[in-house]
Amino acid sequence: MTETSPQQTSIKKILPLILATAIFMQMLDSTILNTSLPSIAKDLHESPLNMQNAIISYVLTLAVFMPASGFLADRFGTKKVFIFSLILFSLGSLFCSLSQNLTHLVISRVIQGVGGSLMTPVGKLALIKTFDKSELLKAMNFAIIPALIGPVLGPLVGGYMVDYLSWHWIFLINIPIGFLGIILGLKFMPDYRSDDVDFDFKGFLIFAAASLLLSISLELFGNMQNITPVLIVFILGFLFLYYYYKHAKKEGHPIFPLNLFQVRTFRVGIVGNLATRLGISSVPLLLPLMIQIAYKQSAVTSGWIIAPMALTAIFGKSSVIKILDKYGYRQTLMINTFIIGTLICMLAIPDIHTSLYWFVPIIAVLGFFNSIQFTSMNTISIADLRNFQTSSGNSLISVNQQLAIGFGIAFGLIVLKIFENSDLIQGETHNAFRYTFLTVGILTILSGFVFRRLHISDGKNMKSKEE
């Protein structure tokens, strides 16, 4: 690229915004529903416990179809697939709002899930292929902010909509955002494709089965009655992963080539994402739960308590490039993970008589360091991938993140249930939450050692050019 045309300059300005709308819509949707489940259950004449199917169906669809996103983008072009995914997600949202019973809602969530499984990975792939390595950090940094704001706004917006409008609006809010994404996508989304496309259908089915079984097992862990079937499903998931490994060794063009894992920065990024998100993903679920269950406050109050996380995430976004340029990826990711783990442990300090506002500064600081964590992990994972590895590597990162978020939520709930049934809490539910935060925080601190595998010089090619 010797010369930058005006059209290319416009694409580079707008493309991060297009990806941001997709990420925001997906993250808002996946968190807004939690606040509204009791209201939807009442309206559809269902038990609130049965309503978990509306969440599970979406997560499973994402896990199954994300592996195909790289192939579809290479085969049909990033522009067509991205716009198709936005239309599908928006239509699924409309159908959700019109659902008359739980079956209709689950089918509509599956349609949403197919759109969601393509939307973010394909948008991210276009971003990776458009920007040079030296510019990518800035672009990714801008686009990732909605991933931090969505989970914070979700419970807040959901709480207000359910209280003052109706649950149908939590799905309808996606449609104008989707429409904006489609308009911008038609004009500014570049259309990358690859001539060398060979779809590994058998590998796709094996990997999809592994993702499906692992996702089901983590959902079952959250509602554990009998450990045996859960363990069987969990072990089966890992057996399918092993089966995929054997298949990929023999297959000429596997959906996820094993040579991806020969790239050390990719390998560390994938493992680090999985390990650190166990703690990070459980906090947005556990804290609102504690405020509502132990402190007996409303969903809207809990939403306001965690809202500062979104504001400080923006400050983190503006600081991350300077921090990475000064300290490098290895030192930044290790220290940042230790800080996040310590902050999660600090959520265990207040007792039931402490003011709720004690949590606000902790959550605010946590939002800042979460922002640095997500941007750093996402960019180091793709730092050393070759062009021919970009599509499959990007798809695998997206699947890994989705499973990591799911495992984090399930892990937080499992630890909470263990403490609830133990003698440690002395009949006080609040203590169960405190011990859970302490456990999750300590494990997050330990996960920081994963990043020791990085070299001091890793990510140098990702550093932004000086203005």
Query: Of 218, 233, 254, which residue constitutes the final position of a domain?
Result: 254
Angle at alpha carbon of residue 83, lines to 176 and 195, rounded to 5°? 165
Whether residues 170 and 207 share a domain: the answer is no
Whether residues 204 and 192 fall in one domain: no
For the chain, the distance separating the N- and C-terminal CA atoms, rounded to the nearest angstrom, is 18
Counting the structural domains of the chain, the total is 3
**What is the dihedral angle through the alpha carbons of 374, 375, 376, 377, rounded to the nearest 10 degrees?**
50
**Residues 220, 283 within the same domain:** no
- Residue 253 has a pLDDT of 78
DSSP secondary structure of 242-253: HHHHHHHHH-SS
Q: Are residues 244 and 349 in the same domain?
A: no
On whether the pTM is more than 0.85, the answer is: no
pLDDT of residue 39: 72
Quick one: 297 and 340 in the same domain? Answer: yes
pLDDT given at position 2: 41
Among 295, 294, 202, which Cα is nearest to 251's?
202
Domain co-membership, 248 together with 322: no
114 residue type, one letter:
V
296: left (phi over 0), alpha (psi -120 to 50) or beta: left
Separation of CA 112 from chain center: 16
293 shares a domain with 209: no
CA distances from 143 to 67, 162, 386, 395 (A): 21, 29, 22, 17
Residues 335 and 445 in one domain: yes
Are residue 361 and residue 294 in the same domain, yes or no?
A: yes
CATH of the domain at 326: 1.20.1250.20
pLDDT of residue 169: 83
The whole domain housing 222 covers 200-254
Q: Which of 153, 177, 198 is the last residue of a domain?
A: 198
> Are residues 30 and 80 located together in one domain of the fold?
yes
Return per-residue pLDDT of the chain as tens, 467 residues: 444 566 667 777 777 788 888 888 877 776 677 666 667 777 877 765 566 667 767 877 887 888 888 778 888 888 889 999 999 999 999 998 888 888 888 899 889 989 988 888 888 888 888 877 677 777 777 777 766 666 667 767 777 777 777 778 888 888 888 888 888 888 888 888 776 667 788 888 898 888 888 877 776 765 556 677 778 888 898 899 899 889 988 877 787 888 888 888 888 988 998 889 888 888 877 887 788 777 877 767 777 777 787 778 777 777 888 888 888 888 899 999 999 999 999 988 887 777 788 888 998 899 889 888 888 888 888 777 777 777 778 778 877 887 787 778 778 877 887 887 777 666 677 788 888 999 999 999 999 999 988 888 776 766 543 32
Does 235 share its domain with 347? no
pLDDT of residue 341: 93
Which residues touch 9 (CB under 8 Å, ≥6 apart)? Answer: none
209 shares a domain with 192: no
End residue of a domain, out of 183, 198, 213 = 198
- Residues 22, 32: Cα–Cα separation, whole Å: 15
